[in-house]
Amino acid sequence: MSKYTEDDLKKELETKEYEYGFYTDIESDKFPVGLNEDIVRAISKKKNEPEWMTEWRLEAFKIWQNMTEPEWANVTYKKPDFQNISYYSAPKKKPELESLDQVDPELLETFKKLGISIEEQKRLSGVAVDIVMDSVSVATTFKKTLAEKGIIFCPISEAIQEHPELVKKYMGSVVPRTDNFYAALNSAVFSDGSFCYIPKGVRCPMELSTYFRINEGGTGQFERTLVIADESSYVSYLEGCTAPQRDENQLHAAVVELIALDNAEIKYSTVQNWYPGGKDGKGGVFNFVTKRGLCETNAKISWTQVETGSAITWKYPSCILKGNNSVGEFYSIAVTNNYQQADTGTKMVHLGKNTKSTIISKGISAGKSQNSYRGLVQINSRADNARNFSQCDSLLMGNNCGAHTFPYIEVKNKSAQVEHEATTSKIGEDQLFYCNQRGIDTDKAIALIVNGFSKEVLNKLPMEFAVEAQKLLEISLEGSVG
Partner 1 sequence: MLEIKNLHAKVEDKDILKGINLKVKAGEVHAIMGPNGSGKSTLSSVIAGKEEYEVTKGEILLNDEDLDDLAPEVRAHKGIFMSFQYPIEIPGVTVTNFIKTAINETRKAKGLEELPAKDMLKKIRATAELLEIDRKFLSRSLNEGFSGGEKKRNEIFQMAMLEPKLAILDETDSGLDIDALKVVANGVNKFKSKDNAVILITHYQRLLDYIVPDFVHVLHDGKIVKSGGKELAMELEAKGYDWLK
For residue 463, the surrounding DSSP H or E stretch is: helix 463-476
- Smallest CA-to-CA distance from 331 within 308, 352, 297, 301 is with 301
Residue 399 engages partner 1 in binding (rule: CB under 8 A): no
Min. distance of Cβ 474 from partner 1 in angstroms? 12
H/E stretch holding 268: strand 265-272
Q: φ and ψ at 384, to 5 degrees?
A: -65, 145
439 binds partner 1 (CB under 8 A): yes
Q: How far is the CB of 429 from partner 1 (least distance, A)?
A: 8
Question: 137 or 459: whose CB is closer to partner 1?
Answer: 459
Of these, 26, 103, 448, 467, which contacts partner 1 (CB under 8 A)? 448
Query: β-strands 194-198, 152-155: how paired?
Result: antiparallel
Cα 173 to Cα 142, 149, 330: the distances in Å are: 29, 26, 21
Q: How does strand 300-307 pair with strand 286-295?
A: unpaired
CA distances from residue 437 to 148, 397, 444, 446 in whole angstroms, order as listed: 57, 20, 13, 14
Q: Which stretch binds partner 1 (CB under 8 A): 86-94, 124-132, 259-267, 435-443?
A: 435-443
Picking from 317, 320, 329, the residue whose alpha carbon sits closest to that of residue 289 is: 317
Helix H segments across 28-163? 37-46, 51-65, 105-114, 118-125, 135-148, 156-162
Q: Please report whether residue 437 would count as binding partner 1 according to CB under 8 A.
A: yes
Residue 482 near partner 1 by CB under 8 A: no
Please identify which residue in 449, 461, 469, 477 interacts with partner 1, judged by CB under 8 A.
449
Q: Which is nearer to partner 1, 83 or 437 (CB)?
A: 437
DSSP state of 7: H
- Cβ closest to partner 1, residue 379 vs residue 396: 396
Any contact of residue 451 with partner 1 (CB under 8 A)? yes
Only one of the segments 122-130, 379-387, 428-436, 474-482 lies at the binding site for partner 1 (rule: CB under 8 A); that segment is 428-436
Instruction: Give me the least distance between CB of 271 and partner 1, in Å please.
Output: 20
Under 8 Å CB-to-CB from 248, ≥6 apart: which residues? none
Alpha-carbon span 92 to 217, nearest angstrom: 8
Nearer to partner 1, 267 or 362 (CB): 362
Question: Which residue, 41 or 471, has its beta carbon nearer to partner 1?
Answer: 471
| Segment interacting with partner 1, rule: CB under 8 A, options 39-47, 134-142, 367-375, 444-452 | 444-452
215 or 436: CB nearest partner 1: 436
The residue within the footprint of partner 1, chosen from 440, 467, 475, 481 (CB under 8 A), is 440
| Residues across the chain | 482
Tell me which residue of 323, 408, 299 sits closest to 359, measured CA to CA.
408
Q: Is 441 in the site for partner 1 (CB under 8 A)?
A: yes
Asked if 462 contacts 269 with a C-beta cutoff of 8 angstroms, the reply is yes
- List the one residue out of 210, 228, 206, 229 whose CA is nearest residue 219: 210
Give yes or no for residue 424 binding partner 1 (CB under 8 A): no
| Greatest pairwise CA separation for the chain in angstroms | 68
Q: How far is the CB of 226 from partner 1 (least distance, A)?
A: 36
What is the distance in angstroms between the CA of the first residue and the CA of the last residue of the chain?
53
Residue 168 in contact with partner 1, rule: CB under 8 A: no
CB closer to partner 1 out of 59 and 443: 443
Distance of CA 107 to the CA centre of its chain: 22
* Stretch binding partner 1 (CB under 8 A), from 27-35, 192-200, 245-253, 445-453: 445-453
Segment near partner 1 (CB under 8 A), from 44-52, 119-127, 320-328, 447-455?
A: 447-455
> According to CB under 8 A, which one of 54, 262, 436, 464 is a site residue for partner 1?
436
The residue type found at 416 is A
- Is residue 465 within the footprint of partner 1 (CB under 8 A)? no
Of 94 and 444, CB closest to partner 1: 444
Question: Which residues of the shown chain bind partner 1 in the complex (CB under 8 A)?
Answer: 428-431, 433-442, 444, 448-449, 451-456
